[in-house]
Chains A and B, each alone.
Chain A
Amino acid sequence: MSDSYGVITKVKQKKISELLIQDKRLDGRGLEDYRDIKVETGLIERAAGSARVSLGKTKVMVGVKVETGAPFPDTPEEGVLTVNVELVPLASPTFEPGAPNEDSIELARVVDRGIRESKAIDTKNLCIIPKKKVFVVFVDIYVLDHDGNLFDSSALASILALATSKMKDYTVDEETGELEYKSNEISLPIQNYPIEVTMAKIDDKLLVDPSLDEEDVIDAQITIAIGKNDEICAIQKSRPGAFTVDEISQAVTLATKKAKELRERFLNGGKDE
């Protein structure tokens, strides 16, 4: 919440509602428009992959690190994906240092679900020694400036960072099980390019990519992750509020369309490069 006394929010709410009657928004966008999106990749040399996404004034950076570790007992032949979100205090007056709160946990888990359920990473390809040693892919999301819609900006930065990640090629010493790294680099095994699309419901209208001003007055919100074959991979309804079945249907149609557009623009349409 940008306004702790609620007065500005009430004024904004009125203005947002007035504009919505004509399908207009505070910043001049149409209901289905994203704010300007800028992406950069390969910014952090020490990371396997990195990306910075600006969605309007929202800025998110993602770094990918790849390390070795033990697999989960129920998937002994698969690598491990770990998604973490830091809502660092420099990004908003409402973010406080300390343990992750429910907002950052939800954000991390929804981004995780999009990547995991779309099988974006071929985790079977990250197994080194079954039951013993696999690659662990850490996706660390760093929110730098919070001006709304952290879900879509974080998800886009995450898949961009993963898709551009490089790790050293390796061989495994059969006796010791130790890795011997070679001089060349290989890409991570990426096989799907999920895009998350968030829509807000305000006054019974659906708005794509809510800004912070809009988030302050939202009734309910829905985030839908769509894979490269238009399949639905993950959904999260969020915020206290409700959707009708018709609105959900509209949201799925809209998400499918917007996901395709973003994938064309930033991920080569999901075709492996």
Chain B
Amino acid sequence: MEPEKKYELINEQGLRLDNRKFDDLRPIKIDVGVLERANGSAYIEWGKNKILVAVYGPRDAHPRHLALEDRTLFRCRYHMAPFSTEERKNPAPSRREVELSKVIRESLEPVVFTELYPRTGIDVFIEVLESEGGTRCASITAASLALADAGIPIRDMVVACAAGKVNGQVVLDLSDIEDQKGDADLPVAIIPRTGEVTLLQMDGNLTREEFDKALNLAIEGCKKIYAMQKEALKKKYVEAKEDVEAEAEEAAGEADKE
């Protein structure tokens, strides 16, 4: 059998299709508190990924019989819009979305003080508006911010980033095409304060050495994104403070005139 022709994902200068180096992230932009009705919300653009997250709760658990005596019922729904993918995605939840909803919930639950709100429910709704690979990591990163924005007590913000193997090389933050044509994908979520890992999945083919390298690279990526996450959370309050100050100044100015 002749060797399979490799899809060229890294050029001779070591640059990837979108001109990134092996350890470069795609551009990330995060906004907090973007929705009116939700208790907390966040919006993230990560490469071409566009994801909106809303948090509702703590509120009455629904349906009632699911309520837990000793803690809140913490739920997540990861869902992709029909127009978010190359071919229209049927809006009914796919098996992939059901699995991702589960692992995302399990990645966030360790930081939530669920025991503070027995018999209630907290719902995290994630809508992927456009996808370009790495949506689960972007979703987790934004969902933590939406939880913080909702004022739900958490131990830390969970942050996620993937590493993987492309053309035999370990790289950070795989794009869609790198995920599809590459050799392995390793999404990781961590609690930065403790360094613990709350999401770990892998598919592909990695040697032990490559795995260790990819895990470290993903964790380094997470730390960079954690800084952006904190910045985004602060930004909301700085902006709110500036608005209030500007209003106060205006009011003071008018008072002077009179």
Cα of A248 to Cα of B196 in the assembled complex, Å: 10
A117 within 8 A of B: yes
Distance between A193 CB and nearest chain B CB, rounded to angstroms = 14
Indicate if B141 sits at the interface (CB-CB under 8 A): no
Q: How far is the CB of A221 from chain B (nearest CB, A)?
A: 10
Contact status A232-B212, CB under 8 Å: no
Once A232-B206, A235-B201 are accepted as A-B contacts, the answer to whether A240 and B211 lie under 8 Å apart by CB is no
Which chain B residues lie closer than 8 Å to A23 at the CB level? none
Contact assessment for B208 and A242 in the assembled complex, using a CB-CB cutoff below 8 Å = no
Report if A242-B110 is in contact (Cβ < 8 Å); known contacts: A102-B101, A249-B212: yes
Residue B253, interface by CB 8 Å:
no
Closest 3 interchain pairs by CB? A242-B196, A235-B202, A240-B109
A26 vs B181: C-alpha distance when bound (angstroms): 46
Q: Indicate if A256 sits at the interface (CB-CB under 8 A).
A: yes
Q: Mark B167-204, 1 if CB is under 8 A from A, else 0.
A: 00000000000000000001000010011111111111
* Candidates A118, A231, A240, A244; contact of B106 at CB < 8 Å: A240
**Proximity bits, B104-129, A CB within 8 Å = 1, else 0:** 01100110000000000000000000
Question: B65 contacts the other chain (Cβ, under 8 Å)?
Answer: no
Cα-based distance from A249 to B194 in the complex (angstroms): 17
Q: Could you list 24 A-B pairs, sorted by A, with CB under 8 Å?
A: A105-B99, A106-B99, A109-B95, A116-B203, A117-B203, A117-B205, A231-B205, A232-B207, A232-B211, A233-B202, A233-B203, A234-B203, A235-B202, A236-B200, A236-B201, A237-B199, A240-B105, A241-B110, A241-B198, A242-B196, A243-B196, A244-B196, A249-B212, A252-B208
Within the complex, the shortest CB–CB distance from A86 to chain B, in Å, comes to 14
Query: In the complex where A108-B95, A248-B215, A252-B211 touch, is A237 in contact with B200 (Cβ < 8 A)?
Result: yes
Residues in A whose Cβ lies below 8 Å from that of B101? 102
Known A230-B207, A236-B201, A241-B106; further 18 A-B contacts with Cβ < 8 A:
A106-B102, A109-B95, A117-B203, A222-B200, A231-B207, A232-B207, A232-B208, A235-B201, A235-B202, A237-B103, A237-B106, A237-B197, A238-B103, A240-B105, A242-B196, A242-B197, A249-B212, A252-B208
Q: How many residues of A contact B (CB 8 A)?
A: 32
Known interface pairs A240-B110, A241-B110, A242-B191; A102-B102 also in contact (CB < 8 Å): yes
- Closest B residue to A118 using CB positions: B205
| Cα distance, A239 to B110, chains bound together (Å) | 10
**Complex interface bits, A246-267 against B, C-beta within 8 A gives 1, otherwise 0:** 0011001000100000000000
Majority secondary structure of chain A interface residues (helix, strand, loop or mixed): mixed
Q: Which residues of B come within 8 Å of A, CB atoms?
A: 95-96, 98-99, 101-103, 105-106, 109-110, 186, 191, 194-208, 211-212, 215, 219
| Contact, CB under 8 Å: A105 / B202 | no
Question: What CA separation (Å) do A238 and B100 show in the bound complex?
Answer: 11
Please state if A243 and B208 are interface contacts (CB–CB under 8 Å).
no
Q: How far is the CB of A98 from chain B (nearest CB, A)?
A: 14
Q: Cβ of B198: which chain A residues have Cβ within 8 Å of it?
A: 237, 241-242
Contacts of B109 in A (CB 8 A): 240
